[in-house]
Structure 1
Amino acid sequence: MTNMILDHYEINKNTAALLPAYHTDYQTTVWEKERRFHVKKTPHELIKEACLEGGADYNGRKAAVTYKTGVSIKVPIPLIPQEQIYAFPTHSPKLHECHWLFYHHIKTIQRHPDTPTHTIITFKDEKELLLHVSYHTMERQLQRTSYCITRFTPYLTYN
């Protein structure tokens, strides 16, 4: 596990989650497979930068998803669709408590056994994240992202 503080972080295929941090030295905790980083930029800033790396700006990606899926709140974002990197927010991206989760790293979601307003996310590396978000909301976000992926995956062409 790494606890270094980075000025910059580039979202990649290993990025599993961007968690808002309540710390004076950094604003995001990045979860990757087997590693953690702290980054001075906010999760939303990192998402916007990844969109640009993927060939479009955040507002364009968001508008395209809304156009193709009808989803207009807590919109999943195809950050780098050609690399199958899709993320979705747990809250409105305008809120500080918004976490960004990366669809292809999620193994399961489960209701918290004692608190119905909480959900346990298990990632493929078996790490768990407790979120202050209802199971219903998380399930809906996963479904929206899955639909987004099917709408943005290029169709194979046959000659």
Structure 2
Amino acid sequence: MTSRSIQKIQHYTINAKTLMICPDVDPHQCLIYEGEDLYLCESTSFNIVDQSCMSRGTTLDGRRQAVKSILENKHKPPIPIDTEKGLIFMPTKIMRDVECAWISYNHLHKVDAHPSDPSISNITFANGLTYEAIVSKKQLTKQIVMAGHVFGHFKKGSFLG
């Protein structure tokens, strides 16, 4: 990660520039990477994802249930925050786990296995930002495939008319 100045905020809504939401040392806060900006939010990553869904007229649980009906694999399902804009976020752990990071499917560029620890993935985003996620490359690759399936499910109507 590069050194960035942190802006403190109380609330946040996921948008097209959001790269990831990850835990902070304080379990009641999280760090948000948005483009070149870094925010420290006085909310959990779970609450930010839930509130971002609610601001679009649904709930995180509603999105989770919709994804479960699309996918056969129901473990750590990707969540479509905004189906019109194709904003899909993938949890690295069980959603309510305070150590869960949420990764934007749309901004992901590359995932590599950590050279010395197979339980860690090195994530590179399209803007060059890198992040070490506590999730294996194999598991994150499954998440990416599921997110692609969900993305295709919700976007196919816009291509077919």
User: What TM-score does the superposition give when structure 1 sets the normalisation length?
Assistant: 0.93
Match of 1:135 in 2: 137
Match of 1:31 in 2: 33
Residue-by-residue CA offset, 1:93-136 (whole Å, 9 max, x unaligned): 12111000010111000011121111100001111101121110
Match of 2:113 in 1: 111
Please tell me whether the aligned partners of residues 92 and 134 of structure 2 are also in contact (alpha carbons under 8 angstroms): no
Q: Which ranges of structure 1 fall in alignment gaps of 5 or more residues?
A: none
> Aligned-pair distance for 1:154?
4.2
Q: Which ranges of structure 2 fall in alignment gaps of 5 or more residues?
A: none
Task: For 1:108 and 1:93, locate their aligned partners in 2 and report how far apart those are by CA, in whole Å.
Answer: 23
Task: For 1:49 and 1:157, locate their aligned partners in 2 and report how far apart those are by CA, in whole Å.
Answer: 31
Task: For 1:150 and 1:112, locate their aligned partners in 2 and report how far apart those are by CA, in whole Å.
Answer: 29
Residue-by-residue CA offset, 1:67-93 (whole Å, 9 max, x unaligned): 012231201111011111110100101
Counterpart mapping for 1:56-67 below 5 A = 56-67=58-69
Match of 2:102 in 1: 100
Counterpart mapping for 1:1-159 below 5 A = 1-23=4-26, 27-155=29-157, 156-157=159-160
**Secondary structure of 2:33's match?**
strand
Pairs aligned (count)? 157
Residue-by-residue CA offset, 1:117-159 (whole Å, 9 max, x unaligned): 111000011111011211101111111111111111141445x
Please tell me whether the aligned partners of residues 108 and 126 of structure 2 are also in contact (alpha carbons under 8 angstroms): yes
Task: For 1:117 and 1:10, locate their aligned partners in 2 and report how far apart those are by CA, in whole Å.
Answer: 30
**Secondary structure of 2:14's match?**
coil
Task: For 1:106 and 1:75, locate their aligned partners in 2 and report how far apart those are by CA, in whole Å.
Answer: 17
User: What TM-score does the superposition give when structure 2 sets the normalisation length?
Assistant: 0.92
Runs of 4+ in structure 1 deviating by more than 4 angstroms, as ranges, are none
Q: Partner amino acid for 2:106?
A: H
